[in-house]
Amino acid sequence: MKIVILGTNHAGIAAANTLLDNYENNEVVMIDRNSNMSYLGCGTAIWVGRQIEKSDELFYSNPEDFEKKGAKIMLETEVSDIDFAKKEVHATTKAGDRITESYDKLVLATGSRPIIPNIPGKELDGIHFLKLFQEGQAVDAELAKPEVKRIAVIGAGYIGTEIAEAAKRRGKEVLLFDAENTSLASYYDEDFAQKMDENLAAHGIELHFGELAKEFKGNENGRISQLVTDKATYDIDLLINCIGFTANSGLAAEHLETFRNGAILVNQHQQSSDPDVYAVGDVATIYSNALQDTTYIALASNAVRTGIVAGHNIGGTSLESPGVQGSNGISIFGYNMVSTGFSVKAAQKFGLDVAFTDFEDKQKAWFLHDDNESVKIRLVYEKSNRRLVGAQLASKSEIIAGNINMFSLAIQDKKTIDDIALLDLFFLPHFNSPYNYMTVAALSAK
């Protein structure tokens, strides 16, 4: 069987590895318009902020790895169209040669693309996005210029908040904008997000929340010099857009059934409405266990899982995705936040009638004073059946990163807030208290 995979980042790589490592006698062709593969975009800000020195550490695979396994790799190759009736992919190589690749099964792993705000001045020089490695390189080069002193970041989600930190670490004056009233509004309720806002402000980042960009103005050289919002005008030397992503599904949207945002609709085998076409990663929908329905969640972890599921199903092993919770996390200037499932705000947006319970305590036993940080926790559950649908934790302690995985599994397995209250959590003073803050939070539920 010949399998053509379009896209060689997390989802495409996971699908290819699954096929090549577990199923013999298949021909695997991997095509990507980019010049590299396996870039960890979530590490861009870590490198740009010089928390690591070498950008090449953000790549975890290369073409040679796949060629040794027998795959055919075609980078810097632009796919122009797909003939689904003939089962052919048409593309152009870097050298300008037109090629056609036939397939028995096609895997769409084309990812997502940045949302470009359609406002005046969007074509000016000095406006950047963050998705590809080359875009990270461009921002890094800008931050190296001494004349670039004042930077505006639009969008205070994960990427925007992280690049704001990175620019500040490079000694720049940073203004962070968002239409919402707090940072990280898609993942955390306001009283959680406000703690991050305080952290950002304490480290010198100028916050402009509840503020909407209206226009970009440039100087006589065609480079951005001002950002105009609905509240004021700001002089800037560089602008970084981080307002979100949407599915990069243009090659197949007219042929396949799509979600409301254009993502390819797939079943729990990652199969699209065309049985010979699979879609994985950011280009595809995903099943949310918190919502108990199909949705869209663009995360690298989801991309890997969906690639694995598609690879096994194509290879001949029937495997259903167990769904996801959208588990995620962020660490800014040493303050850590993790979440899974829905915040109260998100749950209500999707029509769930929820309650929540909060608690705050030290991570370790009260009599240990060194490195014993406070942890804030919120558990969100449905009122009718008490099913857990979300959890949020925030602390300077990194231990919370592991705890969120337990809540992710609890949501996946439809556990209730009462199941959490009586869960067998171990106790050792070096790690927690006899009344663990997770237990107390659940016990406090009405």
Assess whether 10 carries a catalytic annotation.
Answer: yes
Q: Is 242 a catalytic residue?
A: no
**How many Cβ atoms from other residues are within 10 Å of residue 88's Cβ?**
15
Token pair, residue 113, equals 């693309």
β-bridge partners, 98? 92
**Catalytic residue annotation:** 10, 42
